[in-house]
Amino acid sequence: MASNTHGEIMTSMYLNVLAVPARIEQPPPELTLATESGEAAIHCGVFGSPKPKVTWSFNGQ
C-alpha cells in the first residue's frame, strides 16, 4: 500500500519462489584410498536451487 495526502492505493500479486533445498543424489563411496601426501578424488552428486556448494574436510580440517 502507498499513501500520501492525496489518497492511497493498494495492489496485490502472486510470488512464486523458485528454490529447492539441497540434497545429495549420489553419495560419495564408503571407502576411498589414497597414499600419504597424495591426492584423492571424492565425488558426490548434489541437487538444489541455487546450486549447492560441496566442501570436504578430514579430521575437522
Residue 59 lies in a domain: yes
Residue 34 lies in a domain: yes
pLDDT in tens, 15-59: 888 888 999 999 989 888 888 888 888 889 999 988 899 888 878
Residue 14 lies in a domain: no
On the question of pLDDT at 5 being above 90, the answer is yes
The reply to whether the predicted model has a pTM over 0.85 is no
Task: Provide the 8-state DSSP code for 58.
Answer: S
Q: Which domain holds residue 56?
A: 20-61
On the question of pLDDT at 12 being above 90, the answer is yes
Residue 61 lies in a domain: yes
Task: Provide the 8-state DSSP code for 25.
Answer: E
Residue 7 lies in a domain: no
Residue 43 lies in a domain: yes
Question: Domains in the chain: how many in total?
Answer: 1
Residue 12 lies in a domain: no
> What per-residue confidence (pLDDT) applies to 17?
82
Residue 26 lies in a domain: yes
